[in-house]
Structure 1
Amino acid sequence: MEDWVHRALARWPNVPALFGWLQLDRRGRWLVRNELISRPQIIDTIGRNYAADEQGRWYFQNGPQRGYVALETAPLVLRVRGDGDSVQTHNELIVEQPRAVYLDEEGSLLLMTEHGPGAFDGQDLPWALERLRSAGGESIDDALPVALALPSGARTALTLRWSAALSLPVQRLDNAEAPAALGFQRDPQPDPPAGSALN
């Protein structure tokens, strides 16, 4: 978070959070009330002040106020950098330490990174698919349908070759199960009022 955010939080610590206004689509674009944000200064400010709370709800800290973000896929959208050899998040954080790779039922790849869970932008998914390898030596054209047919939670015979020194096993994970498995909320909601009883 930027210094001005910390100063605003210290000055106004109890500003109510906003829900249902801000969205992040599957291409890493920000929207306010379903309207695309196009001003680079606003996009950069959101990206620099984007984080998650302890419940896995991602938000933009706009001065003293949090704006919680509805996610179309994952909290981060991954893109191949201009060098063609490295990956960054939609808010320009370089991914250096991927920890796990997941394949959903549609063939999309999710990556657990040091910055949080991310999904490849559809335009950059071919970069990742080209780096898939089959442990059994089969061609990817043959191995990928087998992996897609596995139940969610199963380990596939695929690995993702991230670098010369790092290959990660690929696990099947249905899209609907990704938030619980990877610790984020796609549709964050306010906390229940203090003292309210659950029915």
Structure 2
Amino acid sequence: MDAIVEAALKKWPNVPHCYGWLALDARGDWYMRDERIQAAGPFPQVKGSRVTHEKLRQFIARNYAADESGCWFFQNGPQRVYLQLEAAPWVFRLGAELLQDGLVHTHTDLSCSVSSTWLDEQDRLFLSTPLGLGLVHSMDMDWAARAVEVGLWEPLASTHAELLGRHGVRLNPGA
């Protein structure tokens, strides 16, 4: 967490939490959801405005965490902004380093190893990692197939709901 965020938390410890204004889709993109967008429909059917400003994306990524109940948030100064998640709290990108050293990369630019792999009822590939549960980015399924072919991964079947429960993830903390 950024030092400026920690300082704001100490200065203003009782700022109310925010719900419904930020979301993470299955491709690892952050979306701002103002009142008009929230009124237009639920996430991900109505996504909102994709966050494209690189410094803001990096700030969100550095201050992204989960609470004890499995809800994910962005600590924006003294305010905790809870996220709606389309599929999982992490979206993993794969590349050649997967086959070389077994590492995958998150949508927030962290690297980690993979503990187990799962296919849900929609044939989406989820990874269990030391960071938690995440979805493999759809554009990287060729790398995932290579990991299976060489015996690095052996995906097990599970439902999405079972995976969320097993990893203690809540997709919509405001609901």
**Alignment deviations for residues 33-84 of structure 1 (CA, whole Å, 9 cap, x no partner):** 1111110000000000000000000000001000001000100000024756
1:195 aligns with none
Match of residue 123, structure 2, among 98, 102, 107? 107
**Alignment deviations for residues 108-137 of structure 1 (CA, whole Å, 9 cap, x no partner):** 11111111111001001221122215xxxx
2:58 aligns with 44
Whether 1:74 aligns to 2:88 is yes
Query: Would the alpha carbon gap of residues 3 and 43 (structure 1) be closer, same or farther in structure 2, given more than 3 Å must change?
Result: same
Larger RCO, structures 1/2 (Cα 8 Å, 6+ apart): 2
TM-score (norm 2): 0.83
Whether 1:16 aligns to 2:16 is yes
The CA deviation at 1:169 is 4.4
1:150 aligns with none
Whose strand fraction is larger, Structure 1's or Structure 2's?
Answer: 1
Match of residue 65, structure 1, among 79, 103, 107? 79
Does the 8 A contact of 2:63 with 2:74 survive in 1? yes
List runs of 5+ in structure 2 lacking aligned partners: 34-47
Does the 8 A contact of 1:108 with 1:125 survive in 2? no
Match of residue 127, structure 1, among 134, 143, 149? 143
TM-score (norm 1): 0.74
| Segments of 4+ moved more than 3 angstroms | 81-86
The count of corresponding residues between Structure 1 and Structure 2 is 158
Task: Determine the C-alpha separation between the residues in 1 that align with 2:65 and 2:56.
Answer: 16
Match of residue 183, structure 1, among 164, 168, 171? 168
Task: Determine the C-alpha separation between the residues in 1 that align with 2:10 and 2:166.
Answer: 34
Does the 8 A contact of 1:101 with 1:160 survive in 2? no
2:31 aligns with 31
Whose helix fraction is larger, Structure 1's or Structure 2's?
Answer: 2
Task: Determine the C-alpha separation between the residues in 1 that align with 2:13 and 2:53.
Answer: 28
Task: Determine the C-alpha separation between the residues in 2 that align with 1:41 and 1:9.
Answer: 21
The AA in structure 2 aligned to 1:11 is K
Task: Determine the C-alpha separation between the residues in 2 that align with 1:112 and 1:84.
Answer: 15
**Alignment deviations for residues 139-190 of structure 1 (CA, whole Å, 9 cap, x no partner):** xxxxxxxxxxxxxxxxxxxx950xxxxxx54321112332112210011127
Which segment drifts farther, 175-184 or 26-35?
Answer: 175-184
Task: Determine the C-alpha separation between the residues in 2 that align with 1:185 and 1:84.
Answer: 28
RMSD (CA atoms): 1.9
